[in-house]
Amino acid sequence: MSVTTRPSDTFAVFLRGINVGGIRIAMKDLSQALAGSGFSQVQTVLASGNVVLRAETDDPAAVKESVQATLRAAFGYDAWVIVKSREQVAGIIDGYPFTPANDGVPRHAYAVLTTGQDVVRQLLEDSPGLSPEERAAAGGDVLYWEVPKGSTLESKLSKHLAKAKYKPLTTTRNLNTMHKVLAKFPPLR
């Protein structure tokens, strides 16, 4: 007997701030903790806090609450996550607004995932500005951002995003990572 996975109960979970600073979590340990709290088909993507999992609910808010509680209990840190459906991940990828610049400068394409459109608006209003080589644009609850390779961490917008007030509200992913996350969802039927 095979288990049928409905697209509505499979989610991508994006953890903020692990394996880039002081919080280190092995993906094996992350998978085990989530499976132990009732999630199934848990798959991690890269080592930067990306998970695709199946829940017993189709409510992303309930998944968020449960994952955050699991992480806080299992790993002892103030965990913040953003939860997206397959359709939302695909929409983020498809919504990337920038065409490649014709200046020979290689760039990273990012999606800053946020908890709402108001956060994107606040990020842009409070932003210290961009360098001439950077681009940023609002896309619903996502801030799209393009920055020259090698200058991500030194950019004004990067430092702005790292402020403590945005910790529970945002997490940033490279568009290549978003493609890899989307590929982990079960096929549509």
- The amino acid present at 134, given as its one-letter code, is E
Q: What is residue 1's predicted lDDT score, i.e. its pLDDT? A: 35
State the pLDDT at residue 4.
Answer: 47
Roughly what angle, to the nearest 10 degrees, separates helices 86-94 and 175-183?
A: 150
d(CA 57, CA 69): 16
Sign of CA dihedral 18, 75, 116, 175: positive
Q: Give 116's contacts (C-beta < 8 A, 6+ positions apart).
A: 141
pLDDT of residue 102: 80
Full DSSP string of 160-184? HHTSGGGTTTEEEEEHHHHHHHHHT
Structural contact between residues 77 and 70, judged by C-beta atoms closer than 8 angstroms: no
The architecture of the domain spanning 7-89 is 2-Layer Sandwich (3.30)
pTM over 0.85: yes
Query: How much is the CA Rg of the chain, to the nearest whole Å?
Result: 17
**Per-residue tens of pLDDT for the chain, all 189 residues:** 334 445 469 999 999 877 666 688 999 999 999 999 999 999 999 888 899 999 999 899 999 999 999 999 999 888 899 999 999 999 999 999 999 878 888 999 999 999 999 999 999 998 888 888 889 999 999 999 999 998 888 888 988 888 889 988 999 999 999 999 999 998 876
Distance CA 126, CA 120 (A): 10
Domain borders along the chain are: 7-89, 95-174
Q: 95-174 belongs to which homologous superfamily?
A: bacterial protein sp0830 like (3.30.70.1260)
Residue-wise DSSP of 7-41 = GGGEEEEEESS-SSSS----HHHHHHHHHHTT-EE
pLDDT (0 to 100) of residue 5 = 46
Check for a shared fold between 7-89 and 95-174.
yes
Q: Check if the beta carbon of residue 44 is closer than 8 Å to that of residue 30.
A: yes
Residues near 129 by Cβ (< 8 Å), separated by ≥ 6? Answer: 156
110, 172 in Cβ contact below 8 A? yes
Q: How many residues does the chain have?
A: 189
